[in-house]
Structure 1
Amino acid sequence: MGTLDHIGLQVSDYDKLTAFYEKALAPLGISIIMRIPEEAGVKGAGFGADGKPDFWVSEGGRTTPHLHLCFVAKNRAAVDAFYAAAMAAGGTDNGPPGIRAHYHPNYYGAFVLDPDGHNIEACCHRPE
């Protein structure tokens, strides 16, 4: 069992950032699992896999300071696909897919700044 149940970001433009994450995280098998009902008074979307939302995006202004979030990729091809999708969705390059041997010999990751400037990464620890 992991140590985190969920994490959330407040964003400057809910619709723009939700669309960014829908596209960027799709190659990792992550999608919107649930939305906060409008009557709750705040827009929010919970992203995750296997029916569990563990990454939340909500309106309310940009979270500061900027965060670094890393999502697990099942293989290196998924890291490559994440990077391509995130860039196509409006992200900014912050480190293209590749080995990061300073972490360990099989660490394969890619980094993209989301439209609010958060450092979003996908990584694979496997040798393929």
Structure 2
Amino acid sequence: MERSRAFYTPTLAAIGIDELTVVQPGERGNPGGWVGYGNGDKPFLWLRDDGAVGERTHLAFSVGSREGVHAFYDAALAAGGKDNGAPGTRPEYHDGYYGAFVLDPDGINVEAVFHGPAT
């Protein structure tokens, strides 16, 4: 869990998503603990340590600009993520699709995408 927090907290902060709730291992009946991320006081993404890493998991976050995609990508690499697709257009998805992909410390594919106008 600490390895995931060390990656997700700065990576998501770069796109305006904050760490809001932390439950330590052993609290509230959860042996591994969990972390909630979101905006304001409402978490919408939960990381939970239950001993299993998600197979074929892909997390995607919509951001408001191409610069947001770059901020996500740079923060993710600085936090220990591995490149899985540098920022750029992805016309195979649709015109105006601009995204970046990284692998988190557990190998989960994490993406930031801006759905902008076609270029």
Q: Normalising to structure 2: TM-score of the pair?
A: 0.89
Q: Does 1:23 align with 2:14?
A: no
AA partner of residue 52 (structure 2): R
Alignment partner of 2:29 out of 8, 31, 41: 41
Q: Which amino acid aligns with 2:16?
A: G
2: distance between equivalents of 1:47 and 1:87? 19
Correspondence 1:53 to 2:43 = yes
Offset of 1:19 from its aligned partner? 1.4
The answer to whether the 8 Å contact 2:22/2:34 transfers is yes
What is residue 52 of structure 2 aligned with on the other side? 62
> Does the 8 Å contact 2:54/2:108 carry over to 1?
no
Provide the alpha-carbon RMSD of the alignment.
1.6
Q: Which of 66, 81, 101 is the aligned partner of 2:91? A: 101
Percent of matched pairs sharing the same residue: 46
Gaps of 5+ in 1: 1-13
The SS at the match of 1:69 is strand
Deviation, 1:74, is 1.1
| Runs (4+) off by over 3 Å | none
Structure 2: gaps spanning 5 or more residues: none
Aligned residues: 115
- For 1:114, the aligned partner's letter is D
